[in-house]
Amino acid sequence: MMKKMLSFLVTAAMLFTLAACGGSPAQSSESSSVPQTSSSQPETPSSSSVSSQPAESSSEAASQPAEPAPSSSEGEPASSPESQTSEDPASSEPEEQSGSKVLVAYFSATNTTEGVAQTIAASVGADLYEITPAQPYTSADLNYNDDNSRSTKEMNDPSARPEISGSVADMSQYDIVFLGYPIWWGEAPRIINTFVESYDFSGKTIVPFCTSGGSGIGSSATNLQSSARGATWLSGRRLNSGVSQSEIAEWVNGLGLELSAE
């Protein structure tokens, strides 16, 4: 009886063992046949992969230079048509000056003619130019009682042309020239011939005036006219050293010129 019991127990143990061994491989095989989600199926992008894509595009944007803003020629910023204002052609043209341009040119050895010339220039609003000899005249040079003085020799030589220091910057701009000088031996000093022969006075009006202790202008201006052909010469007059500006204005306004003296 005991042997049958023992045999039964051994047999039951063996069956249990076999059953246990047979179920384990099946379970292992079943679990291995189930697809592994973590390895075969695509994963949702992690936070690191999401951030890496913008980082790449940001790097590309940083590596590419910014496109320069369009500009006009000569380095000036371009402007839209609305911001560009059209320039009025009339406003860009220089204004024409009305009236005549006047010059008062004079030679004065003792400053007498200079004072008169300054008064004329102030009266008509003219430019002033002094005819200055390259070699200034001394008192001995002006001694008309000395036959060997410089002035005497020059006036006895019609071809003498004393040199002038400097020149008028732009004679072409003047329409009217007042020409002043002292009377030497009844004529204009030879340096006046030098001045008149140094410029083109064509189309200009020359108004001579002189200073003298007693002699009038005489033929001094007439003798100069051949040296300035093409100019219009008006009759000149002698003016005393103490002439007033009102007297100058009366004389100038009576010349029939396109200017007004005050």
The answer to whether position 240 is within a domain reads yes
- Tokens 């936070």 map to which residue? 47
Number of domains in the chain: 1
User: What does the pLDDT look like over 204-233, one tens digit per residue?
Assistant: 999 999 999 888 898 999 999 998 989 999
User: What does the pLDDT look like over 148-174, one tens digit per residue?
Assistant: 999 999 999 999 999 999 999 999 999
The domain of 121 spans: 102-253
The answer to whether position 41 is within a domain reads no
The answer to whether position 63 is within a domain reads no
The answer to whether position 135 is within a domain reads yes
The answer to whether position 141 is within a domain reads yes
Stated pTM of the model: 0.63
Lowest mean pLDDT among 82-86, 114-118, 251-255: 82-86
The answer to whether position 88 is within a domain reads no
User: Exposed/middle/buried for 199, CB within 10 Å: 0-12, 13-18, 19+?
Assistant: middle
